[in-house]
């Protein structure tokens, strides 16, 4: 069976027409004065899903999260949680909890008291609170720090306290606003996996806001790419990367080569494209493109093969000159300037330690790719 | 950069400090004077301190001042804190500029004018001047100082702390008392101390708004000085200076120690 990208876990309620949506944004608009932060947005999130809102700053992703938490009310539209309309319900009565970007730990309380705060508001009996706090401290491996105040902790420890505090109440949904933004790179990578394990262990629905595509790709079941208050695409990380539906998404996630062109010929199984500068490209999936329409052909650098001679069996092969070579250790990135002037980025894994046919600056070179290596974009 | 103690540097420092503190040093020295003549040294003695405590008039005035100070500082702190919260939290309401102008005007208003206008008000309303009117006047003019101190703290206050508390289930009022108030408490305490100090040494406004039976210590001292400075007054002033100095020193030591402790804690946390 062919499939896009790699398989992670057998969890795909979004493909099941009978699955009940858990969180629903229904034509939600949010305006701040004249500025429209979220524009007529509809989105469905399922129970136990790890959902990421990905976008540049100012795209409305944080506003979406804050509306879910109850700090902002939508100007129009509805937000439903487990079938219940959230309109008018204040933050302190919503069954969702949030982990703040700044962590927002109460500076005058110990770690223990911070975690117990939400449970106390619930009116949970003392012994139960103690038990739950101990459980949470164990979960985030901070047992010996219970009596410390936030300023006596390192950045990573603070992050874990914030996490423990926000899951202590067992919310229906946990909202995470740039949860790893303040950590250094190494710690961030470790913590990504910890968060995923935690989500599996607790069986909660996670909605995470991030501007870091790697973070979203690593952790999320599905990603919503946002731009200017609108959702551009909602899909699994593999689909987002391998089958973007627009130039924006293709550009936003990872590196991509774009060939402007026109559809010269369209049949059921193949699409022939004439590039704006003359290149001929044959693709076996043309998407919605019709003959004669202006399109963009997008292809990821690692799908392009670079060689010094024209590969005999290649359907698509374009000739050019090596413009730049960057050796990164695990892979090498080539910039090939095609004879029509376009520069193509291609990357090759350095699977062996020695290269038989090394290419260097100004060498003649061929780039080739399979008919299923890229996508045709109409928007 | 050379840091040499040139003759010029030393001279200017000595002159500067002398200008600032010589009068106070003289006052303290002469409070221990045996002689009744204020400017003639007649040997060391603490008898003026003893007689001070037997001076019923001065003791009464001290008691009045303390009560006015505590009550007015407390009320001014509550009102000033509320004003500061309004000014930092509600950035867009009708008349905000006017409101902030009016809150802060007493900072620059000449005391004579504040005092006179309050006097006119009390007369117009028919309020008998006394303890109540002085306290009211002190609340009015110290409130703005509290508002300034608390506002500067609130500006740097991380609103997400309040949001986190509400997110965890605390309604707004509970959030204020359990999160906001404890976090800004140091600023509120400094505001209170500032208001108390201002009330303690106010002469002008108190003179306008006070009445019989409510003479504050500065008023008492001033009226006695007009009949001639007695060593007793020197003693009273020395005690005042000591009280203020001890308060300031304790506050700054506590502050310093907290700061050092915090730095140590943070370093320890970074090391893991």
DSSP 8-state code for residue A75: S
pLDDT tens, residue by residue, A50-83: 999 999 888 889 999 999 999 999 999 999 998 8
Residue of B nearest to A117 (CA): B168
Domains of chain A: 13-247 (3.40.50.300), 255-377 (2.40.50.140)
Tally A–B CB contacts below 8 A: 72
Alpha carbons A181 and A329: distance in angstroms, whole number:
27
CB contacts of A169 in chain B (<8 Å) are 168-169
Q: What per-residue confidence (pLDDT) applies to B271?
A: 65
What DSSP element (H or E) covers B79?
Answer: helix B56-89
Minimum distance, in Å, between the CA of residue B93 and any CA atom of chain A: 15
Residue A92 to residue B170, Cβ atoms within 8 A: yes
Report domain extents, chain B: 58-250
Instruction: Indicate if the alpha-carbon torsion angle B69, B74, B80, B84 is positive or negative.
Output: positive
Alpha carbons A280 and A261: distance in angstroms, whole number:
9
Minimum distance, in Å, between the CA of residue A216 and any CA atom of chain B: 24
Class of domain B58-250: mainly alpha
Q: What per-residue confidence (pLDDT) applies to B270?
A: 66
Alpha carbons B187 and B147: distance in angstroms, whole number:
10
Residues near A246 by beta carbon (within 8 Å), at least 6 away in sequence: A232, A233, A377, A379
- pLDDT by residue for chain A (379 residues), tens only, comes to 466 665 566 788 888 888 888 999 999 999 988 888 899 899 999 988 999 999 988 888 999 999 999 999 999 999 999 888 989 899 999 999 999 988 999 999 999 999 999 999 988 898 999 999 999 998 888 889 999 999 888 888 999 999 999 999 989 899 999 888 878 888 888 888 888 888 888 888 999 999 888 889 888 999 999 998 899 999 999 889 998 989 999 988 889 998 888 888 888 778 888 877 777 888 887 777 778 788 888 999 999 988 888 888 888 888 889 888 998 988 999 999 988 888 899 998 888 887 777 888 888 888 888 888 888 888 7
CB contacts of A133 in chain B (<8 Å) are none
pTM given for the model: 0.79
Q: Do residues A222 and A14 touch, judged by C-beta distance below 8 A?
A: yes
Residue B169 to residue A157, Cβ atoms within 8 A: no
Q: What is the ipTM of this complex?
A: 0.81
What DSSP element (H or E) covers A273?
Answer: strand A271-275
Minimum distance, in Å, between the CA of residue A182 and any CA atom of chain B: 14
β-pair type (A294-299, A374-377) = antiparallel
φ/ψ (deg, to 5) at A90: -70, 160
Positions in chain B whose pLDDT score sits under 50: 1
Minimum distance, in Å, between the CA of residue A319 and any CA atom of chain B: 55
Residue B266 to residue A97, Cβ atoms within 8 A: no
Q: What per-residue confidence (pLDDT) applies to A312?
A: 83
Q: Do residues A91 and A71 touch, judged by C-beta distance below 8 A?
A: yes
Residue B158 to residue A104, Cβ atoms within 8 A: yes
DSSP 8-state code for residue B42: -
Q: What per-residue confidence (pLDDT) applies to A99?
A: 93
Q: What per-residue confidence (pLDDT) applies to A2?
A: 62
Q: What per-residue confidence (pLDDT) applies to A9?
A: 65
Query: Looking at beta carbons, which pairs linking A187-196 to residues 24 or more positions away fall under 8 Å?
Result: A187/A155, A187/A156, A188/A215, A191/A156, A191/A159, A192/A218, A192/A219, A193/A218, A195/A163, A195/A219, A196/A50
Report angle CA B62, B65, B68 to the nearest 5 degrees. 150
Helix count and strand count (H, E) for chain A? 8, 20
Residue B160 to residue A100, Cβ atoms within 8 A: yes
φ/ψ (deg, to 5) at A207: -120, 115
* Residue-wise DSSP of A91-149: GGGSSEEEE-TT----TTS-HHHHHHHHHHHTT--HHHHHHHHHHHHHHTT-GGGTT--
Q: What per-residue confidence (pLDDT) applies to B234?
A: 84
Residue A117 to residue B161, Cβ atoms within 8 A: no
How large is the angle between the packed helices A126-139 and A155-167, nearest 10 degrees? Answer: 140
Q: Do residues B224 and B98 touch, judged by C-beta distance below 8 A?
A: no
pLDDT tens, residue by residue, A167-197: 999 898 999 998 888 788 888 888 888 888 8
Residues of chain B whose beta carbon is less than 8 angstroms from a beta carbon of chain A are: 158, 160-161, 163-171, 174, 179, 182-183, 262, 265-266, 268-270, 272
């Amino acid at each position: 069976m062919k499939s896009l990208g790699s398989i992670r876990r057998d969890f795909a309620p979004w493909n099941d027409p009978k699955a009940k949506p858990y969180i629903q944004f229904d034509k939600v608009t949010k305006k701040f004065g004249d500025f429209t932060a979220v524009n007529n947005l509809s989105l469905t999130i399922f129970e136990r899903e790890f959902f990421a809102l990905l976008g540049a700053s100012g795209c409305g992703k944080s506003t979406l999260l804050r509306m879910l938490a109850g700090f902002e009310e939508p100007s129009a539209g509805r937000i439903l949680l487990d079938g219940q309309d959230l309109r008018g319900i204040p933050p302190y009565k919503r069954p969702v909890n949030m982990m703040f970007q700044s962590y927002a730990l109460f500076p005058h309380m110990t770690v223990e008291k911070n975690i117990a705060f939400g449970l106390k508001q619930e009116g949970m009996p003392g012994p139960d609170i103690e038990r739950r706090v101990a459980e949470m401290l164990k979960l985030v491996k901070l047992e010996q720090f219970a009596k410390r105040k936030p300023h006596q902790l390192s950045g990573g420890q603070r992050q874990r306290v914030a996490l423990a505090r926000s899951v202590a109440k067992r919310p229906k949904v946990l909202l995470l606003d740039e949860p790893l933004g303040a950590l250094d790179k190494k710690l961030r990578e470790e913590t990504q996996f910890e968060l995923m394990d935690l989500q599996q262990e607790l069986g909660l629905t996670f909605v995470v806001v991030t501007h870091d595509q790697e973070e979203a790709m690593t952790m999320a079941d599905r990603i919503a790419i946002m731009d200017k208050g609108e959702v551009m695409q909602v899909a699994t990380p593999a689909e987002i990367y391998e089958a973007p539906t627009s130039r924006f998404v293709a550009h936003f996630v990872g590196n991509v080569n774009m060939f402007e062109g026109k559809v010269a010929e369209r049949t059921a199984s193949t699409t022939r494209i004439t590039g704006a500068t003359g290149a001929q490209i044959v693709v076996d999936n043309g998407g919605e493109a019709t003959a004669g329409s202006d399109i963009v052909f997008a292809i990821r650098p690692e799908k392009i093969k670079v060689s010094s001679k024209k590969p005999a069996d290649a359907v698509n092969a374009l000739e050019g000159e090596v413009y730049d070579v960057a050796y990164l250790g695990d892979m090498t990135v080539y910039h090939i300037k095609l004879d029509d002037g376009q520069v193509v980025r291609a990357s090759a894994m350095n699977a062996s330690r020695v290269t038989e046919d090394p290419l260097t600056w100004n060498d003649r070179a061929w780039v080739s790719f399979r008919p299923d290596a890229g996508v045709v974009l109409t928007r | 950069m050379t840091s040499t103690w040139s003759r010029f540097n030393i001279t200017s420092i000595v002159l500067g400090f002398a200008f600032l503190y010589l009068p106070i040093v003289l006052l303290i020295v002469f409070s221990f004077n045996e002689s009744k003549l204020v400017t003639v040294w007649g040997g060391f003695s603490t008898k003026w301190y003893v007689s001070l405590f037997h001076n019923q008039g001065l003791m009464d005035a001290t008691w009045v001042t303390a009560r006015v100070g505590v009550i007015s500082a407390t009320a001014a702190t509550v009102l000033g804190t509320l004003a500061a919260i309004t000014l930092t939290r509600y950035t867009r309401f009708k008349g905000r500029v006017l409101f902030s102008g009016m809150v802060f005007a007493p900072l620059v208003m000449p005391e004579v004018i504040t005092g006179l206008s309050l006097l006119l008000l009390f007369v117009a309303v028919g309020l008998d001047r006394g303890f109540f009117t002085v306290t009211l006047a002190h609340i009015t003019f110290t409130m703005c100082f509290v508002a300034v101190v608390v506002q500067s703290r609130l500006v740097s206050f991380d609103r997400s702390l309040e949001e986190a508390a509400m997110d965890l289930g605390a309604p707004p009022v509970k959030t204020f008392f359990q999160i906001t108030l404890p976090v800004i408490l140091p600023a509120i305490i400094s505001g209170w101390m500032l208001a108390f100090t201002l009330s303690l040494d106010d002469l002008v406004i108190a003179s306008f708004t006070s009445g019989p039976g409510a003479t504050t210590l500065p008023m008492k001292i001033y009226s006695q000085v007009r009949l001639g400075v007695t060593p007793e007054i020197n003693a009273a002033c020395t005690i005042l200076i000591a009280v203020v100095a001890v308060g300031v020193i304790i506050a700054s030591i506590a502050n310093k120690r907290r700061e050092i402790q915090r730095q140590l804690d943070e370093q320890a946390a970074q090391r893991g």
